Structure 1
Amino acid sequence: CFVPQDTKVNTTVIPESELEAQDQDKDDTLFYTLQEVTPGASSFFSLVGVNRPALQLDQPLAFNRLPNMTFHLLVRDTQEEDAVPSHTAQATLVLEVQPADLRPPWFLPCVYSDLYVCVQAQYYGAIPTGHKLPNPLILRPGPIYAVDGDRAINQRIIYSLVRGNEDGIFVIDADSGNLTMTKSVPSPKTFLLMVKGDQEDHARYSVTQVTVEPWVAPPPKSLHEGSGNTTRAPPSHGETVRGSK
């Protein structure tokens, strides 16, 4: 039986008419028991009642935790399990969770994540002034990269710049997310770029920020730095220079 991941709690996923047993001898009252085979499965599903074998959903499904669940459905014609005589039968129920598009793309690495949410990354980099970098920017904590938050669906992510790209200084590769310069920056400036990661079907998207700051240039070296020579100021009037005559 296929059960969509976004099925609402308290929904009947298998009706009673498909699970009820028939007593061929006489019209006895039948008693049903649901036993989990997959550990933890009974926290998701239960029977509507001991005499009503309809299967209902008790909590939201978690595809990443339990994509498949198996149960044994037991039925007997006596209320007590150890009653004599008692006739029993057993059926096996196999439920397969179908992934649903529930989450937007996640920019990695997540600052925090669990099965349901990602506090996504922001990125930081630096560029020189008056010089165009020939290669994609090196960013912290890593390159711009997003994945479908629903890993089982795994839609392709398309990247774009949606804000902060004054004068068209930057361009982003729609497939890889690589950020490159189109021209140099004439004076030091900090850019706050908003990057959008869109699912290929455009059903969901996420936005993160890339902060690009100017490189801090090292102080200029003195004329004689590194030559091994030391330049002294000429002696002032009346000063005696050792070794002179």
Structure 2
Amino acid sequence: MDLDGDTLMYVIDRTMGDFKYFHMDLPNNGKVLLSRTVDYETIQELEVIIHAVEMTTRERQRTTTRVRVVVLDGDDQYPQFLPCQYMSHDGLRVCVSPVYSVNITAGEEPTGPFVFSPGPIYAEDGDKGIMTPISYSILSGPGSELFQIDNITGSVSHINTLESMPGPAMFHIKVMASQVCDSRKFSLAEVKIRVLAPNKYAPRFTASQYKAFVQEDNNPVALVSTYNGRVLNLMPSDGDFPNGTNPRIQLSLANISNHSKLFQITQSGFLIARANLLQAPQTFNVKVIARDEESGETANSSLIITVLARGQAAPRDPSEPQPLFPQPDLPIIAAGLGVLGLLFAILLFLLIRLVKSHRLQQQQMSQTSLMTEKHPTVSLKWFQSVNPSKSSPQGEEQGYQNAAYTETPGEENPGLEEARLVPAKTDGQSVKQQKRMPAVAVISPGNQCIGNSPCRNKQELSGGDSDHGTPIQGCGDDPSNDGRRGHQSTEASASGKQQ
């Protein structure tokens, strides 16, 4: 207001404050209007600077004022479950309801409300300046009749004992939070209730401390091993399971120094190292944590990892008994096996030669036995076989040939006489007889000249032709001498032309 009554013009300072939210209705009436909607959840207070300037005077005197605008909250927001997970959408922050979960054990009597994760079931009005009261309820669905909720506090508990609870071991129910004064403004949240078998045993590692080794290498990934080069496995056991393996175990490494960059553990219990970042003889102390996702129980174990040089083997387990003899090298074993194989081959060759020689000797003995069977009264002292593959050019007789034989004298002939064989003639020509070593035939006393004896077969000693020699007189020629013992020996002389 001007005391002189001069006309004033009002101008918003567009260099400072929240001028973008305001504008003047008319330059001379001083009415300030909002240019856009104001959200209480975004901004609770505005400030604008307005100038008043004289329009009808030469001096153009002016004045300035600062206007503060307080934003009041309106009932335009819905209830929100906490803790809220905010997400951006078209430049706005949207609250996403969390998922509440709890594990309960079968057979336990109701003792109070469930303790959920990540926190208790709680919702509040989205209008922070109004904070309208909230009411909770469970929507109808599978398992909703087994649980109850406090409509003011939001605490959930079961109605019946777990033994009488049918259906699956996991229940999914919906909880609704609505304004007391306006039930059309509400929000929903999911609640998971998992029923567990009675838990008697906590997860447990086989040792409170493990000793592990890993070789430095250029490869970025390497499995960590323990004594004797065995691959290390850190899977804990759980006595609540028949095979001792709990599928709900979650393995992790404690955040100590930079170990998380060098080592990682799989859910199967194997430890992986980045070997290209390790150098011998570094040593690391790593803590392993095993958590049962159902019961929430945990187990801890420490791990001492020693970095070995490239190609260095892991040491032996000190708890194992030491061998009496040092373990030989593989090349020595291979060389020894090769030598044994060569010796075996030589022995096998010699054995085959020995068997063949024995068979040949057996054949010769069989031929000798056959000859004896054909002439039972003749005992061969020496013989030589003729090679049947070589035919005689003169048509000589093949087989066993004796150059001489002797008879054993009987009672009437005490002396020994030699019977000499002369070469036979064929077609008037003398046949060259093959050279033979002398053989001795012995006729035992008392044997009769029967069968195939030499004295019985006169033609054999005379060369097969009676015209070329004188036959030997045998005792068997006289049938009247059947009772006589012994026989007489005669000397056969060659007849014909001497060569």
TM-score (norm 2): 0.35
Asked if 1:199 corresponds to 2:179, the answer is yes
* Residues 25 and 181 of structure 1, relative CA distance in 2, 3 Å threshold: closer
Q: Aligned-pair distance for 1:126?
A: 1.9
The structure with more helix, counted as a fraction of residues? 2
Among 163, 166, 174, the alignment partner of 2:151 is 174
Q: Aligned-pair distance for 1:84?
A: 4.9
Q: Aligned-pair distance for 1:190?
A: 1.8
SS in 2 for 1:143: coil
Question: Identity percentage over the alignment?
Answer: 23
The structure with more strand, counted as a fraction of residues? 1
Q: Supply the AA of the counterpart residue of 1:143.
A: P
- Checking the alignment, whether the CA contact within 8 Å between 1:133 and 1:181 is kept in structure 2 is yes
Q: Aligned-pair distance for 1:125?
A: 1.3
Structure 2 Cα separation of the partners of residues 104 and 128 of structure 1: 35
SS in 2 for 1:163: coil
Asked if 1:151 corresponds to 2:131, the answer is no
- Checking the alignment, whether the CA contact within 8 Å between 1:169 and 1:184 is kept in structure 2 is no
List per-residue Cα deviations over 1:72-91 (Å, max 9, x = no partner): 42211249xxx951132445
- Checking the alignment, whether the CA contact within 8 Å between 1:36 and 1:70 is kept in structure 2 is no
Question: Which residue of structure 1 aligns with residue 97 of structure 2?
Answer: 120
* Residues 110 and 40 of structure 1, relative CA distance in 2, 3 Å threshold: farther
Question: Which residue of structure 2 aligns with residue 215 of structure 1?
Answer: 196
Q: How does 1:23-34 map to 2 (within 5 A)?
A: 24-25=4-5, 28=7, 30-34=8-12
Q: Supply the AA of the counterpart residue of 1:32.
A: Y
List per-residue Cα deviations over 1:134-183 (Å, max 9, x = no partner): 12112111110111111111112111111236362111111111111111
Structure 1 Cα separation of the partners of residues 76 and 58 of structure 2: 51
Among 105, 109, 116, the alignment partner of 1:132 is 109
Q: Supply the AA of the counterpart residue of 1:194.
A: K
- Checking the alignment, whether the CA contact within 8 Å between 1:134 and 1:181 is kept in structure 2 is no
Structure 2 Cα separation of the partners of residues 72 and 92 of structure 1: 5
Q: Supply the AA of the counterpart residue of 1:193.
A: I
Structure 2 Cα separation of the partners of residues 221 and 109 of structure 1: 35
Q: Aligned-pair distance for 1:201?
A: 0.9
RMSD: 3.2
- Checking the alignment, whether the CA contact within 8 Å between 1:132 and 1:182 is kept in structure 2 is no
Question: Which residue of structure 2 aligns with residue 237 of structure 1?
Answer: none
- Checking the alignment, whether the CA contact within 8 Å between 2:17 and 2:48 is kept in structure 1 is no
Structure 1 Cα separation of the partners of residues 13 and 116 of structure 2: 52
- Checking the alignment, whether the CA contact within 8 Å between 2:125 and 2:131 is kept in structure 1 is yes
Structure 1 Cα separation of the partners of residues 65 and 240 of structure 2: 82
* Residues 49 and 130 of structure 1, relative CA distance in 2, 3 Å threshold: same
Question: Which residue of structure 2 aligns with residue 160 of structure 1?
Answer: 137
Structure 1 Cα separation of the partners of residues 146 and 102 of structure 2: 14
* Residues 100 and 91 of structure 1, relative CA distance in 2, 3 Å threshold: same
Q: Supply the AA of the counterpart residue of 1:149.
A: G
Q: Aligned-pair distance for 1:197?
A: 0.6
Q: Supply the AA of the counterpart residue of 2:12.
A: L
Question: Which residue of structure 2 aligns with residue 108 of structure 1?
Answer: 82
List per-residue Cα deviations over 1:71-125 (Å, max 9, x = no partner): 342211249xxx9511324455443322101111110111216875311212111
Q: Supply the AA of the counterpart residue of 1:198.
A: S
- Checking the alignment, whether the CA contact within 8 Å between 2:138 and 2:144 is kept in structure 1 is no
- Checking the alignment, whether the CA contact within 8 Å between 1:164 and 1:191 is kept in structure 2 is no
- Checking the alignment, whether the CA contact within 8 Å between 2:113 and 2:157 is kept in structure 1 is yes
Deviates more, 1:48-57 or 1:167-176: 48-57
Q: Which runs of 5+ in 2 are unaligned?
A: 200-238, 243-499
Greater Rg over alpha carbons, structure: 2
- Checking the alignment, whether the CA contact within 8 Å between 1:127 and 1:133 is kept in structure 2 is no
List per-residue Cα deviations over 1:191-224 (Å, max 9, x = no partner): 11110111121252111110112215555489xx
Question: Which residue of structure 1 aligns with residue 228 of structure 2?
Answer: none
Structure 2 Cα separation of the partners of residues 113 and 40 of structure 1: 29
TM-score (norm 1): 0.66
Among 187, 190, 198, the alignment partner of 2:170 is 190
